[in-house]
Amino acid sequence: MSFTNWFSRLAALAATITVLPAIAACPVPTVDNTLSADYGQSRHLYPATPGKAIGLLGQFAEAMKEEGRYSSDPTTMAWGVNGTNYRWVYVVNPSLGGTDFNIIPIGTIPVGQPGYQERKYYNLETATPISLARWNVKSDYALVEAEVNDGDGSPQGADSFVATKVTQLDGTPSYPLDVAKTIRDLGDCADSYIRGSEAALLTQMEVARQAALGDKQPTGPQSQSQIQSPTWNAASETLELPVRYQRGNGQFSCGCGIEPPGGGHHCCALWGPAYGVKMSVVYRVDKTGKLVSAQASPIATYKRFIPPPPVAGPIHR
């Protein structure tokens, strides 16, 4: 067979193969005037979790920072369900004397549902793609069924639990959805939508500036943040991806507050009138990977006054 004929047959075969992406094209969100620009923000809720539960395991570091919760390992995964606060998830390291810096020799975990008691677990480590690999969970986001605290569940108010068994559900016949790819794809779609809203954002920033400063101009620095907080809605069996965007500026002064003994410490705590804009984009996808809805909030403006440090040192304008 000549190279030309071989290449022609290969091209014909390739033409018959259809690759179906998780999201074929970026959906255009519908602006919903009832949708809050803060949708997806932490609600400080830790409801009880049953002994066996379905939820989203993922790397939610940026969203958890808003709550003042941090992990030294950026690959740490937490539990997200029904838009409530993320819970830390631990697993028992099967090998004694592990050297991973995440290992907790003895951990006291609240257990029981709906009751409350404490149980000691030994050689705990945070859930990561590495520590979850024993259950073939290797991606940064996964829909899973978890056995919670040996099947005894987790009480209301507990911000962590031990996953004693994990089964990945997405990518199976019952849940064909590819969670990790869908979150990546829709995150890119949200980026595109927010960039496309730049003219409207600039217009509303000017409205916010006039409301906060009148004829005065901002000193800067301008700030911006974009945070996504995926969650699994158990009742509707849908993956929900809220993405919140915020841009801020103001007329700031710089003060040191309480200086350490000996002085000579350079610091700058910004304070003064602040203003900005914010918006949210929310996507919902069912367990088969089909888009259910795409919504966006109207662009909202805000203004507030950031108070000076408790004890002001030298102030520089």
For every one of its 317 residues, what pLDDT tens digit does the chain have, with 9 covering 90 and above?
Answer: 443 443 344 344 333 333 334 566 899 999 999 999 999 987 778 899 999 999 999 999 888 888 888 888 889 999 999 999 999 999 998 775 444 445 676 788 999 976 778 999 988 999 999 999 999 999 999 999 999 999 999 999 999 999 999 999 999 999 999 999 999 999 999 999 999 999 999 999 999 999 999 999 999 999 999 999 999 999 999 999 999 999 999 999 987 665 555 555 556 789 999 999 999 999 999 999 999 999 999 999 999 999 988 764 454 55
Residue ending a domain, among 106, 138, 168, is 168
Domain identity same for 198 and 229: yes
Domain identity same for 196 and 87: no
Q: What are the DSSP E strand ranges found in the chain? A: 30-31, 52-58, 78-80, 87-92, 104-111, 117-126, 141-148, 160-168, 223-228, 231-233, 238-250, 253-255, 269-286, 291-296, 300-306
Residue 14 included in any domain: no
Cβ 90 vs Cβ 160: under 8 Å: yes
Under DSSP, is residue 194 helix (H, G, I), strand (E, B) or coil? Answer: helix
Domain identity same for 74 and 134: yes
pLDDT of residue 194: 98
> Cis omega before residue 221 (within 30°)?
yes
Domain identity same for 260 and 190: yes
Domain identity same for 138 and 50: yes
User: How many domains is the chain partitioned into structurally?
Assistant: 2
Domain identity same for 189 and 241: yes
Domain identity same for 55 and 163: yes
Residue 33 included in any domain: no
Domain identity same for 188 and 277: yes
Residue 38 included in any domain: no
Which residue matches tokens 């690759």? 19
Residue 10 included in any domain: no
Whole-number Cα distances in Å, 234 to 23, 49, 193, 249, 287: 21, 12, 27, 39, 11
Q: Would you state the structure tokens that stand for residue 16, as one six-digit string?
A: 């018959």
Provide φ and ψ at 303, rounded to 5°. -145, 150
229: left (phi over 0), alpha (psi -120 to 50) or beta: beta
Domain identity same for 114 and 197: no
Residue 18 included in any domain: no
Residue 223 included in any domain: yes
Domain identity same for 47 and 164: yes
Range of the domain at 214: 179-306
Residue 230 included in any domain: yes
Domain identity same for 163 and 192: no
Residue ending a domain, among 122, 149, 168, is 168
Cβ 88 vs Cβ 77: under 8 Å: no
Cα-based torsion angle of the residue sequence 120, 125, 129, 130 in order, rounded to the nearest 10 degrees? -120
Burial readout 235-258 (b: 16 or more C-beta within 10 A, e: otherwise): eeebbbbbbbbbbbbbbbbbbbee
| Nearby residues of 142 by Cβ (< 8 Å), 6 or more positions away | 56, 57, 58, 132, 168, 169, 170, 179, 180
Domain identity same for 216 and 124: no
Cβ 299 vs Cβ 41: under 8 Å: no
Residue ending a domain, among 116, 139, 168, is 168
Q: Would you state the structure tokens that stand for residue 106, as one six-digit string?
A: 């003895």
Residue 159 included in any domain: yes
Q: Is 278 exposed, middle or buried (0-12, 13-18, 19+ CB in 10 A)?
A: buried
Looking at residue 43, its amino acid is: R
